[in-house]
Amino acid sequence: MEYDETVYACAVNRIFNYNCRDARAIAERFPSPGELFSLSEHELRELLHGNTHYIDAVMNRCILKEADEEVRWARAKGISIIYIRDREYPRRLKECPDAPTVLFYKGSTGLNPQRAVAVVGTRKATSYGRIQCRRIIEHLAGLSIKPLIISGLAYGIDITAHLAAMECGMDTVAVLPTGMDSIYPPPHRQHAVRIIEQGGLVTDFPKGATPMPVTFLRRNRIIAGMSDAVLLIESAEKGGGLITARTALSYSRDVFALPGRITDTYSAGCNSLIAQNTAAIISSPSSITDAMGWNDGTYLSRKEKLTQLFEKSDYIRRNILLALSADSAIDRDTLICKAGADPQDVLASLTGMEIEGIVGSDIYGNYILKV
């Protein structure tokens, strides 16, 4: 039975999923992935250096049947299957020697943005880490060419980065450690739905793949490979974020780290990278844009934006802006009190400001500024 090339590509991905270098070599040797499955056993033995595991897998037509079912499932779910030779494949990732041959993608933005920043860090983020993460992303959002924000959908810094990007009107991509049929961690499924509408989900794992230690490590190399720069915000002496940063260095990516006190457990990894001169220090929200040369003359600082908004606002909106600029997040009742006006008028102003993208809400339902 003959299949289309996408099926053959998925079959190659299933067979060589944990050996991307061999899969990459096959992709470079054969313009069409289907050519691999037309080889004789003798030809396969020479090509695969006698590796019986791979030879048997290629000759087992059940693999093609499984791949065909996967392709049908993906298309029914609106999931794109991108082969490494396709134009849509992330060009930055393609530069990496261990880039996957197939990516599964569902989203609303392309994977080849003009600029891309990966933001990673501990799952046990402190308020310091979350606040600084938001401030840096707010600064990046002020650029005329906003970078794509890439992370891993995990607890802590990852989800903070995704949510901050969306609240600032930026696209964000989450790289999964599982197949596209299994969102991890499950409580972030609702965030994943939002990310699809303002960015996308990416994985190289086939349908049915479950989270394991090795899948997180492989996920991290995609995060690093798709970016121009990697920002590490809070990491212990060991951790996935630190591994991502070091992987990024091996790919010749720029790496930045947020410093912390020497007594802070979750700043030890960042401080170590900075001390070793393997990561540039984040000394202000503009550190990344300054180092990357992204200050293109059209940037408006957060203070300048707030000043412009304040000048154009009535007294209720001005009080809302003042309250939210003083505190990072405020619940509805407190904000109504600080606005100093009739609650219905304050709620009407807040609704208008939400529609205009001036204010939004955090994961706890508190009001926050989006400028």
Q: Do both 274 and 153 map to the same domain?
A: yes
Q: Do both 67 and 129 map to the same domain?
A: no
Residue 96 in any domain: the answer is no
pLDDT tens per residue, range 21-80 = 888 888 888 889 899 999 999 998 888 888 888 899 899 889 999 999 999 999 999 999
DSSP letters for 197-209: HTEEEEE-SPTT-
Instruction: Tell me which of 83, 104, 134 is where a domain ends.
Output: 83
- Would you say residue 110 has pLDDT above 90? yes
DSSP 284: S
Residue 90 in any domain: the answer is no
Instruction: Tell me which of 59, 83, 107 is where a domain ends.
Output: 83
Q: Do both 277 and 152 map to the same domain?
A: yes
Residue 91 in any domain: the answer is no
Q: Do both 74 and 170 map to the same domain?
A: no
Q: Do both 314 and 286 map to the same domain?
A: no
Torsion angle (degrees, nearest 10) of CA 227, 232, 197, 168: -110
Residue 93 in any domain: the answer is no
Mean pLDDT of the chain: 90
Predicted pLDDT at 17: 76
Instruction: Tell me which of 292, 325, 350 is where a domain ends.
Output: 292
Give residue 332's identity as a one-letter amino acid code.
Answer: R
Q: Do both 287 and 323 map to the same domain?
A: no
- Would you say residue 363 has pLDDT above 60? no
Q: Do both 313 and 273 map to the same domain?
A: no
Q: Do both 351 and 278 map to the same domain?
A: no
Q: Do both 55 and 172 map to the same domain?
A: no
Residue 169 in any domain: the answer is yes
Q: Which residues contact 353 (CB under 8 A, 6 or more apart)?
A: 317, 320, 359
Q: Do both 125 and 224 map to the same domain?
A: yes
- Would you say residue 297 has pLDDT above 60? no
User: Which CATH number fits the domain that encloses residue 190?
Assistant: 3.40.50.450
Q: Do both 79 and 153 map to the same domain?
A: no
Domains identified in the chain, total number: 3
Nearest to 71 by CA among 80, 62, 63, 61: 80
Structural domain span for residue 167: 116-292
Predicted pLDDT at 364: 64
pLDDT tens per residue, range 298-350 = 555 566 777 888 888 998 999 998 888 776 678 888 999 989 899 999 999 98
Specify whether the CB–CB gap between 200 and 207 falls below 8 A: no
- CA atoms of 274 and 195, how far apart (whole Å): 32
Predicted pLDDT at 22: 82
- CA atoms of 276 and 269, how far apart (whole Å): 11
Which parts of 126-224 are beta strand (E)? 148-151, 172-175, 199-203
Q: Do both 130 and 150 map to the same domain?
A: yes
Residue 341 in any domain: the answer is yes
Tokens 């933001």: give the residue.
119
Residue 103 in any domain: the answer is no
pLDDT tens per residue, range 205-230 = 988 999 999 999 999 999 999 999 99
- The two tokens of residue 137 are 């992303």
Specify whether the CB–CB gap between 236 and 212 falls below 8 A: no
Residue 105 in any domain: the answer is no
- CA atoms of 333 and 313, how far apart (whole Å): 21
